[in-house]
Structure 1
């Protein structure tokens, strides 16, 4: 099989330019034996195609774990960036491929790559797709809970806007800032817009401010439809403040911050109390 030779291209110093090579195709389609043959014949695993996409991006975007490992073992640059600044880890997180995410992290992928105006973090991508297992492993590896995207805000904003309750639970238990804002809009505003009662209750239990106003001077309640369960729950919160017990729980979790999950589970208290503190 003839190996493609492409002209040099110096974008990010990650390889060479071509429209789309056989290496890209094999990685994308999960053709392990073909990819192995190409690599053995000297094909570059860091060759870049249109938009600076590498074979590693292709494999990650399709959840092709075996091809991903082959490329990494052959020296593929784990944090290569495409024209939008996305890394292979971002691609794997966006489709919720837990095995690919775990493999990339094992090979040293940055869990907090530098963000640009066109880039979202791996944690944002995982929350956008509702991939709670990926969210958990990223947080365990030190993903920034408050990573800020110009278009979406924090990962919690993304999870709430996309109605991914399990991701919201994981983030809140990890100690994310529940009242983070983007243009004064909080995650609770997103939950209200989607009329998601369970999410609204969860956010409030973790200290979300029901009186926060966005750039249009609207409270979360203002985004609910009259006579809906979401509107009723906000009216209930306004007419009946949180109990001392609830406020104490919020204060404790706020004080412990990102260490809350680890520290609370080590306390010698009944399991039902641990569940209450962490909302499991």
Structure 2
């Protein structure tokens, strides 16, 4: 053992490890080559079990793939050198090859009998996978013309999965036209539609559906449908496409989530909010149940408030979301948004809080306002909306201490207006607004827009932001 605590291998030990690695690799290749036909069969069988019987195809003999160690050939394939690929694969030469990518991370692998060996953690691939995933259409076409097995999956997934995952629509169409199984199930239990997770894969999804991909096929393990995947990844184009093909709106995955639940619960960065808003709008317009709860009794509104997506919240409320439903943890949607304001102030949480209050949300217990002020002071407008839901406030020194000096300095005018309420009552104008809103009792969002009043008064009644309290 060295001073740094690392283990020192002797030359004899290193030689032994090298022999172990070589033996392990030979065994691995034997198993892969012996079972490649079984892999292909199982992929097709899983697909049939998931989506139903398919038309019978003519059985043809496919020569078992060989292992390609030639770096020149590998380089031509990885770089998409069409001329070289045509030279290396002339008529009569098999293109069914297995390639072991160079490199990878070392890991310990159990060999049985308590023996362990160091080996590279690598995944076998084929020329078809490489060219399909990288968009080398000419190379892919040539390999297919030379008899490459279109559904071969030595690494657990087909070339079609690879093309879809990397958003290569031309390669997807080419593979499908050569008989690729549009419902092949990978080792991870995913069909090609399940790996269409980027905006660039939209045309890939269209080709798959045109060639018979199962629109409601569920992934193994997670039970996600393609619509779940589109919702989770905030893909409005895919969502619209799947709905056009009759995707099921209320099918639940293994976590009990419908596609709408999945879209609302997915963590969202500021730049993602608009995409997820569009996805939810499409699902709600198509008739998705706005109040379907997950296993923890969280509704889509709970989840959208936790992610602070104002657009989604507005659509959910417009479609009748219950604003005061409690989940198993005892939180209403209002509590969910207030808990994360400090982390997502740039998501405009004040818009969410205002929408909830205008739709009749319960308010914060007055005694908890100093605590709310402490954690939400980074968003003065959120504080403003909350405080304008009360006719009177008992402002104390605790309120002053709850606001950090940095936030007070940055928003001095606003917080001075709040602290001044310690000695002065609310204005008559605000009290009239509070009385009117209290009378409507949750119908503010319906009644106020219909009143024959100037726009600025309507906005005032709907808790428009003024950046001070009075």
Task: State the TM-score, normalizing by the size of structure 1.
Answer: 0.78
1:1-280 aligned at under 5 Å gives the runs: 6-9=33-36, 10-11=38-39, 13-14=42-43, 19-50=124-155, 52-92=156-196, 94-96=197-199, 97-151=201-255, 153-162=257-266, 163=273, 164-183=276-295, 184-225=297-338, 228-238=350-360, 240-242=441-443
List gaps (5 residues or longer) in structure 1.
247-280
Q: Deviations over 1:229-271 (max 9, x none)?
A: 322332232263247979xxxxxxxxxxxxxxxxxxxxxxxxx
Matches of 1:216 and 1:46, distance apart in 2: 47
Q: Is the 8 A contact 1:117 1:149 kept in 2?
A: no
- SS of residue paired to 1:80: coil
Matches of 1:43 and 1:125, distance apart in 2: 30
Matches of 2:130 and 2:311, distance apart in 1: 43
Q: Is the 8 A contact 1:127 1:159 kept in 2?
A: yes
Matches of 2:188 and 2:326, distance apart in 1: 32
Matches of 2:140 and 2:351, distance apart in 1: 54
Matches of 1:217 and 1:47, distance apart in 2: 51
Q: Is the 8 A contact 2:165 2:195 kept in 1?
A: yes
Q: Is the 8 A contact 2:358 2:445 kept in 1?
A: no
Superposed displacement of residue 115, structure 1: 4.4
Q: How many residues align?
A: 240
RMSD between aligned alpha carbons? 2.4
Task: State the TM-score, normalizing by the size of structure 2.
Answer: 0.48
Q: Is the 8 A contact 1:30 1:64 kept in 2?
A: yes
Matches of 2:243 and 2:443, distance apart in 1: 29
Superposed displacement of residue 81, structure 1: 0.9
Q: Is the 8 A contact 2:358 2:443 kept in 1?
A: no
Matches of 1:69 and 1:89, distance apart in 2: 13
Q: Is the 8 A contact 2:277 2:309 kept in 1?
A: no
Q: Deviations over 1:131-182 (max 9, x none)?
A: 1111011011010111212237111112222441000000000000111111
- SS of residue paired to 1:224: helix
- SS of residue paired to 1:135: helix
Q: Is the 8 A contact 1:132 1:166 kept in 2?
A: yes
Q: Deviations over 1:181-210 (max 9, x none)?
A: 112111101111122223212101101111
Matches of 1:150 and 1:214, distance apart in 2: 19
